[in-house]
Amino acid sequence: MKTLLLIDIQNDFMPGGALAVPDGDEIIPVVNALMVDFDLIVATQDWHPPDHGSFAANHPGAKFFDQIELDGLPQTLWPVHCVQNTGGALFAPSLETRRIDRLFTKGINPRIDSYSGFFDNGHRASTGMGEWLKARGVRQLSVAGVATDYCVKYTVLDALAEGFEVEVIAEACRGVNLGAGDVECALEEMRQAGARIV
């Protein structure tokens, strides 16, 4: 079963969005064209409540990109983004969402962030995506989306740990690059962990 996993292709991660990924919109025509080659298409959606602990606005005196501790885990603070039932959380309008077979939301618990589509950042709770994919007989995943250096990376690392064979479609991914070279480092880390970067 050729399976495409689309990570967080949502308005807030597109140019003009609350947590814009540079050139994030460039992946959409690439992803739309890729879809025809796959039997199963699964998407993740960052889906935070307004009081989410990853938002700088919920920590008095904190700034974007500060590092704090949240419930015992290191946490980068972000602008308010992908709030449930807001326009910013919707898929980018040019994405061909009709082809998506199943959606998994993440980042719902206000006490913990969830970069990976499989588990929260503490591996405390599963989204159910791994179990769902395995129940359908999926063994290989091709991954595209944003951000290469956060949600794509952690999803890919968890997918490998869960025993999936993983291919990252680099031209269908874009990253935040908070630090220079973060995207390159993320791709290298995924490669080291056993992913194919294509």
Site string for ligand VGL, 6-25 (x = CB under 6 A): --x----x------------
Contact residue for ligand VGL among 80, 147, 166, 168 (CB under 6 A): 147
- Shortest distance, position 138 Cβ to ligand VGL, whole Å: 22
Burial class, 128, CB count within 10 angstroms (exposed 0-12 / middle 13-18 / buried 19+):
exposed
By beta-carbon proximity to ligand VGL, the closer residue of 1 and 178 is: 178
| Active-site residue flag, 8 | yes
Report 98-137 residues binding ligand VGL (CB under 6 A).
Answer: 115
- Shortest distance, position 23 Cβ to Zn ion, whole Å: 19
Residue nearest to Zn ion (CB): 46
- Shortest distance, position 186 Cβ to ligand VGL, whole Å: 10
Adjacent-strand bridge partners of 146: 174
By beta-carbon proximity to ligand VGL, the closer residue of 34 and 151 is: 151
CA atoms within 13 A on the CB side of 12: 21
CA atoms within 13 A on the CB side of 111: 5
- Shortest distance, position 155 Cβ to ligand VGL, whole Å: 9
Report CA torsion sign: 69, 71, 74, 80: negative
Crossing angle (nearest 10°) for helices 153-161 and 182-192: 10
C-alpha distance from residue 162 to each of 8, 121, 155, 165 (Å): 20, 15, 10, 9
Binding of ligand VGL by 78 (CB under 6 A): yes
| Active-site residue flag, 106 | yes
The site partner of 146 among Zn ion, ligand VGL, none (C-beta below 5 to 8 Å per kind) is ligand VGL
**How many degrees, rounded to 5, is the angle at CA 8 between CA 170 and CA 57?**
125
Report 38-97 residues binding Zn ion (CB under 5 A).
Answer: 46
- The residue behind tokens 């919109």 is 25
Token readout for 9 is 């292709």
What residues line the site for ligand VGL (CB under 6 A)?
8, 13, 46, 78, 115, 146-147, 150-151
| Catalytic positions, written as ranges | 8, 106, 151
